[in-house]
Amino acid sequence: MDRRGFLECTAGLSAAASLPAWAANAMPKEYGRALLVNERGDPLRAAELKPQLNYVFHYPFEATPVFLLDLGRPVAGHALVTQDRQTYNWPGGVGRNRSIVAFSAICAHQLVYPTREVSFISFRKTRAQRGVQDGLIHCCAEHSQYDPAKGAQVLSGPAKQPLCAVLLAHDAKADTLTAYGTLGGELFDEFFRKYEMKLSLDVGAKAKNAVKGQSVVRELDKFCRNSIQC
């Protein structure tokens, strides 16, 4: 990552609230860098993203989905806590408007995730049926709701921690996005244990392979046949 990209990724750290004294910091976990590309295989320009629309790519593993969102407004960093009381400072949005965010699309409650057939979890531009406000990521399984403008902090429902953040670097000159790591409560081990059989059928032997080089971004409604709106 160049210096500018690093600064952009980390600038939000100072904006987040200070951490409680009892906490041990959850550190960013680096994975291989993956340039986000469109369905034609060309580098995705951040400006191509439609505001407040669900996009999906897979990272850091071939079978682990991630929501990519342009929230349409600048998003500052935010201090968060995982289920095991690890604190971390989510750095906020990236891109020219600091409005682009990415989170693991695996619900932190019971690991519901978007598949090619169906998705019970997605960003809602407008109020969900049981919503407390617009602009949340809502899981229809048991109605956990996450605020993507605050690092996917849990606002309601049974989830015990935020969605794991996926860290993005924005190349300001090329206007491209590269995923390079995660921050927060990862649930990948539990995910692979729970869905081992399904993933072997849906994704095959490469399900646990690390994503390398690039990852394809698709609109959720094109990736998934039935996006459930509860």
Q: Which residues of this protein are in contact with ligand FES, per CB under 6 A?
A: 107, 109-110, 112, 139, 141-142, 144, 157-159
Q: Whole-number minimum distance, CB 197 to ligand FES, in Å? A: 18
Q: How far apart are the C-alpha atoms of 221 and 16, rounded to whole Å?
A: 33
Q: Whole-number minimum distance, CB 121 to ligand FES, in Å? A: 6
Q: How far apart are the C-alpha atoms of 21 and 31, rounded to whole Å?
A: 29
Q: Whole-number minimum distance, CB 130 to ligand FES, in Å? A: 11
Q: Look at strands 226-227 and 118-119 and give their pairing.
A: parallel
| Contact criterion met (CB below 8 Å) for 45 and 70 | no
Q: Whole-number minimum distance, CB 149 to ligand FES, in Å? A: 19
Question: Residue 94 or 187: which CB sits closer to ligand FES?
Answer: 187
Burial class for 101, CB neighbours closer than 10 Å (0-12, 13-18, 19+):
buried
Indicate the length of the chain as a whole number.
230
Q: Whole-number minimum distance, CB 142 to ligand FES, in Å? A: 4
DSSP-derived letter for residue 74 is -
Q: Whole-number minimum distance, CB 140 to ligand FES, in Å? A: 8
Question: Residue 46 or 107: which CB sits closer to ligand FES?
Answer: 107
Longest Cα–Cα distance of the chain, Å, equals: 48
Nearest Cα residue to 71 out of 137, 167, 10? 137
Question: Residue 23 or 228: which CB sits closer to ligand FES?
Answer: 228
Helical (H) or strand (E) element with 3: helix 3-10
Question: Residue 155 or 216: which CB sits closer to ligand FES?
Answer: 155
Question: Residue 40 or 193: which CB sits closer to ligand FES?
Answer: 193
AA identity, residue 63:
A
DSSP-derived letter for residue 54 is -
